[in-house]
């Protein structure tokens, strides 16, 4: 299994982004709206909505906000009509970027994303050029100090998990997207608390970067993640340990 480096790469800068409370709330609300619009307002029958609600609760979003977002998504309340789009790009070093946006103006957003890429020595890619580099997975993270690895493996695999990776800080349980919630339920049944649970895109292979290129890619990720319409930026960069330590 891979250790701290891969974990830090996948979740790089998450704490810094989450610290911007207003922005993370905005992103969560948009995701709830899109999920409710596409799959209906019942979280029991809509796994994407259920995940979005759980993520909102983990950020202590008030239930009133969550319920309003669901109703806006289903059309019970009026609101801005957000659309989901995916952009693919190449960053310095040949790193692939898979960028998820939720926007009320696709033309404006694509122009702004293209501008950010160009300014940071990156370029937009054709549809399908980058997406194949990633696979959709459910990922549950658990504080390593709260549960024994062997015990966790038994619970998770029996519930349908695909894999378990561990280091000194966290356990990372991976599942097929459809198995995320059954595995969550099994953990809850055994009183195993988790830090986060989400459907995400993981790289099939990573591109090892030197320090100079790594810094350029990190700068690009920062400016993309700071864009109001960007929900997530998935990448296949493998940053040098020293660079990750500086970031941490």
DSSP annotation string for 182-216: HHHHHHHHTT---SEEEEEEEESS-EE--HHHHHH
170-219 tens-digit pLDDT: 999 999 999 998 999 999 999 998 888 888 999 999 999 999 999 999 99
The residues spanned by each domain of the chain are 4-74
Mean pLDDT of 20-29: 78
Mean pLDDT of 35-45: 91
Mean pLDDT of 145-172: 92
pLDDT of residue 58: 84
Using CA atoms, how far residue 93 sits from 30, 119, 121, 238, 245, in Å, is: 32, 15, 10, 11, 20
Mean pLDDT of 122-145: 94
Using CA atoms, how far residue 226 sits from 17, 109, 198, 209, 222, in Å, is: 8, 13, 20, 23, 6
- H helices present in 75-189, as ranges: 106-119, 149-159, 180-189
- Label the pairing between strands 237-238 and 207-208: parallel
Higher pLDDT among residues 15 and 155, named by residue = 155
Specify burial of residue 210 (Cβ count, 10 A radius: 0-12, 13-18, 19+). exposed
Q: Nearest-CA neighbor of 65 among 119, 21, 121?
A: 21
pLDDT at 248 over 60: no
Mean pLDDT of 138-154: 92
pLDDT of residue 146: 92
pLDDT at 95 over 80: yes
Helix (H, G, I), strand (E, B) or coil at 156: helix
Mean pLDDT of the chain: 88
48-88 tens-digit pLDDT: 899 899 889 888 899 999 999 999 999 888 877 888 999 99
The widest CA-to-CA distance across the chain, in whole angstroms, is 51
Lowest mean pLDDT among 6-15, 97-106, 118-127, 211-220: 6-15
Which residues partner with 232 through β-bridges? 100
**Looking at domain 4-74, does it have CATH number 1.10.10.200?**
yes
Helix (H, G, I), strand (E, B) or coil at 65: helix
Which pairs from 187-192 meet CB under 8 Å and 24+ separation? 187/140, 187/142, 187/155, 187/156, 187/159, 190/155, 192/142, 192/146, 192/147, 192/152, 192/155
């Amino acid at each position: 299994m891979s250790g701290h480096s891969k974990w830090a790469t996948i979740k790089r800068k998450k704490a810094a982004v989450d610290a911007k409370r207003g922005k993370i709330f905005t992103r969560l609300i948009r995701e709830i709206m899109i999920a409710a619009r596409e799959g209906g307002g019942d979280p029991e029958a809509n796994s994407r909505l259920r995940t979005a609600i759980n993520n909102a609760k983990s950020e202590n979003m008030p239930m009133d906000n969550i319920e309003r977002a669901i109703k806006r998504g289903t059309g019970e309340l009026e609101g801005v009509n957000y659309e989901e789009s995916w952009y693919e790009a190449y960053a310095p070093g040949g790193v692939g970027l898979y960028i998820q946006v939720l926007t009320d103006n696709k033309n404006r957003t694509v122009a702004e994303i293209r501008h950010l890429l160009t300014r940071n020595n990156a370029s937009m890619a054709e549809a399908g050029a980058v997406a194949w580099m990633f696979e959709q997975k459910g990922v549950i993270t658990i504080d390593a100090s709260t549960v024994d690895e062997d015990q966790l493996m038994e619970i998770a695999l029996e519930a349908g998990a695909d894999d378990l990776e561990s280091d000194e800080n966290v356990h990372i349980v991976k599942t097929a997207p459809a198995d995320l919630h059954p595995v969550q339920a099994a953990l809850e049944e055994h009183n195993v608390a988790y830090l986060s649970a989400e459907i995400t895109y993981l790289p099939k292979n990573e591109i090892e970067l030197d320090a100079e290129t790594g810094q350029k890619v990190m700068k690009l990720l920062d400016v993309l993640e700071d864009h109001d319409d960007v929900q997530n930026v998935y990448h296949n960069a493998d940053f040098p340990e020293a660079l990750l330590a500086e970031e941490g």
